[in-house]
Amino acid sequence: MLVLLFDIDGTLIHTRGAGRRALEEAMREVFPISGPVADVPLHGRTDRAICRDLFSAHGIEPTDQNWTQLKQSYLAHLQRLIQTGPGEVLPGIRPLLEELRPREDVLLGLLTGNTAAGARIKLSHFDLDQHFVVGGYGDLHSDRNDVARVALEEVERQVARPVDLRRVWVIGDTPADVACGRAIGARVLAVATGQHTLGELQQTAPDLALDNLADANPWRTLWHS
Ligand SMILES: [Mg+2]
């Protein structure tokens, strides 16, 4: 079984700012914020960690109730804003997923900092959500490495046996994706379709780094090695 666990933002798709705008609008809707919403780093991080930083920056208690309210507002704004944005599916992604999905020896999954519902909104907008059978999401964990562990557990539950980690790949666009793949002993493909250059990603020592997946052949040759 070949297991491919994909990051979403900057790897499968770009929402071109819809996610950030939805989060800012949700912060303003749920909490009494005057002035700009704090500019916290988003890339490669989990939604739980991003919101924890936003709460800290604005002096908001990091309670489960505040998290739940912010998440519900964010999802509603995301659903609306993603319709208006100039988002895109990244090169080579759609044909690759359509080719691999019917294969019984391939399991496609997600390993993302998005919440499960946020991931569904983003991927269904681009008609990609039906490809993924399992996932690890950013609802519960601040640390992406913990999300990777959950994703691997979900994979093992799905295939009902331990998997050969040489045949598990994490695909992502940030050093955090490379690190979380390493944390679970998987192999890692880094793609320079997000905020990081190919050179920056190569410095994190993935098994392979590519400009994009328009030509996936250099990666395919490693699937059976
Ligand atoms: Mg990403």
Predicted model pTM: 0.95
Per-residue pLDDT for 44 more than 90?
no
CA neighbor of 122 nearest in space, from 152, 87, 92: 87
pLDDT at residue 225, rounded to an integer? 81
* CA 119 to ligand 1 center in whole angstroms: 12
Q: Give residue 55 CA to ligand 1 midpoint distance, Å.
A: 22
CA of 54 to the centre of ligand 1 (A): 19
Distance 43 CA to ligand 1 centre (A): 6
Cα-to-centroid distance, 32 and ligand 1 (Å)? 30
> How far is C-alpha 169 from the chain's CA centre?
14
Mean predicted confidence (pLDDT) in 125-146: 95
For the chain, what is the mean pLDDT? 95
Q: Ligand 1 center to residue 6 CA distance, Å?
A: 9
Instruction: State the architecture of 2-14+89-220 in CATH terms.
Output: 3-Layer(aba) Sandwich (3.40)
pLDDT in tens, 70-91: 999 999 999 999 999 789 999 9
How many Å lie between the centroid of ligand 1 and the Cα of residue 175?
9
- Quote the pLDDT of residue 87: 92
| Non-local CB neighbours of 34 within 8 Å, separated by 6+ positions | none
Distances (CA, A) of 150 to 24, 102, 134, 217: 28, 24, 10, 29
